[in-house]
Amino acid sequence: MTMLKLTLPIVPSVNHCYRNVSIHRRVLTPIGKAWQEKAQYIAKAAAAKQGWRFSKRQKLVMEYWTYWPDYRTRDVHNQEKLLLDTLEGILYDNDKWVLPRAMDFAVDKVNPRIEILIYPLEGR
């Protein structure tokens, strides 16, 4: 387990992924569930192909680059909740061990995506 490269579809916005069912409870919408299932399938395949070993109690750095489909104003950090929750149990034990880092964003109208690089935090 040294590094995992992963490309996923753009994470839907929080407003599209979750709906409030009570004052203290949110659930995934059908859009959120569909994205999550697709992302988990892609992540499992990438992990198997690249020999990624499931990590427990290991701090991991998650660098990500977002390529939006258009020039509308968006917040890259808006993706982190669903992204981290989706990969939990597949690439790592618990997302509390993941240190997400938004590296950059741009527009790619032809191929919107999020490119992810995950690796162990060394020397700490």
Inside any domain, residue 2: no
How far is the C-alpha of 110 from the C-alpha of 100, rounded, in Å?
26
Inside any domain, residue 91: yes
**Is the pLDDT assigned to residue 62 strictly greater than 90?**
yes
SS (H, E, C) 15-52: HHHEEEEECCEEEECHHHHHHHHHHHHHHHHHHHHHCC
Mean pLDDT of the chain: 90
Query: Which residue shows structure tokens 């109208």?
Result: 109
Q: What does R_g of the chain's alpha carbons equal in angstroms?
A: 15
Number of domains in the chain: 1
pLDDT in tens, 29-52: 888 899 999 999 999 999 999 999
pLDDT in tens, 85-121: 999 999 999 999 999 999 999 999 999 999 999 999 9
Q: Say which CATH number the domain at 53 has.
A: 3.30.1330.70
Inside any domain, residue 6: no
